[in-house]
Structure 1
């Protein structure tokens, strides 16, 4: 007969960790999206002038995220910054998301046909009007699937914040495993929670894309 030491309170503890995971994802994507849109537009419209920015973002894309967490947390201590671990996690994840979101936005802008932009200018639209009414709407639809995948990726990458002392979903599950010594059950439940969160985000994204298609 199946028996377990896993209790309802343990499940609530996992849900608390899942809530922290969602908050980290939300904070990181807020930073990454705003900065990524600005950097992506600059990279697409001024490619040569923004080469140094591209090289800097390549560093954050190339260096493993765990190393970035450890280094930033150490630099925070050296600089004497009184930032919480949650703030550090949001900033590091936000910069990491920015590095990828920049390329997603840049690709979306460059996917807009040049002939279409030329036609809009010939109709009397100014440069800014061309960006607002022609480039950005098309680029947004092109870039959205990539941005959605980035959200799901960042949600999973939040598991690395356990190394700087934050109790998110994975850290919560490890705490329970240490106490009740049932790793298979606990990790399966944690994995199911990750799956449900990812499924909700993916379904919301798919619904938004469907509405865009219906409005065409």
Structure 2
């Protein structure tokens, strides 16, 4: 690159790291969202002796720093002989971590639907599954979406912590380049920040677009 020692090879290396960042984010959000929907439904409709223990486990996942979760799970799976590579470990841990937050997003969205609306659906002859599919989830999704978008963006940044288990994602690839070219540290970090912005911006815009579309349809 003109006027700097940062080469296109360095940029390519960082873009490869960005690809891993996006891949981990995708699988973590997919797994975490699916688990969050299931756990959210259970927590919204289960008795206290199911709700409290599940809530306690999810509180642990939310409370323990993610870096510690990565290291502990990676060590445990190595001792257990599961043979999971660092990428899979990162996806699994981050999905579990994401599910703990997504569960509360789903539960909050479900509880935001007025009881009177649900009673009206039942009075029309809908069963529980129809009530959830046609009334609760469509209405609750409007409440859930902003928080889910924020969670997605947060998870994308949290992927930087997988460096602790040996995954060379965007931030770690930037650090590797900085060790070779410490005098270009600010430029390299600026490029990394720009890449993070480029991959994050479409997600935030998509959320804003969907919110606007729903408001126009009300």
TM-score (norm 2): 0.95
RMSD: 1.2
Residue 129 of structure 1: how far off its partner (Å): 1.2
Q: 1:176 to 1:15 in 2, by over 3 A?
A: same
Query: Which residues in structure 2 correspond to 1:51-90 (within 5 Å)?
Result: 51-90=52-91
Query: Is 1:96 paired with 2:89?
Result: no
Unaligned runs of 5+ in 1: none
Structure 2: unaligned runs, 5 residues or longer: none
Task: Report how far residue 212 of structure 1 moved.
Answer: 2.8
- The SS at the match of 2:195 is helix
CA deviations 1:20-55 (Å, max 9, x no partner) are 100000010010000000000111111513211110
Aligned equivalents of 2:174, 2:202: Cα separation in 1: 21
Q: Give deviations 1:37-88, integer Å, cap 9, x for gaps.
A: 0000111111513211110010000000000000001001110111110000
Q: After TM superposition, which residue ranges in structure 1, 4 or more long, deviate above 4 angstroms?
A: none
TM-superposition CA deviations, 1:79-106 (whole Å, max 9, x none) = 0111110000000000000000000000
The one of 192, 199, 203 equivalent to 1:190 is 192
Number of the residue aligned with 2:142: 141
1:159 paired with 2:160, answer yes
- Per-residue CA deviations over 1:156-177 (Å, capped at 9, x if unaligned) read 0000001110010001100110
How far 1:124 moved relative to its partner? 1.6
The CA distance in 2 between the partners of 1:105 and 1:170, in whole Å, is 31
Q: Quote the residue 2:201 is aligned against.
A: 199
CA positional deviation for 1:186: 0.4
Q: Match of 1:25?
A: 25
Offset at residue 215 of structure 1 (A): 3.7
Task: Give the CA deviation at 1:126.
Answer: 1.5
**TM-score after normalising by structure 1:** 0.96
Moved more, 122-131 or 57-66: 122-131
Q: Aligned-pair distance for 1:211?
A: 2.9
| Equivalence for 2:4 | 4
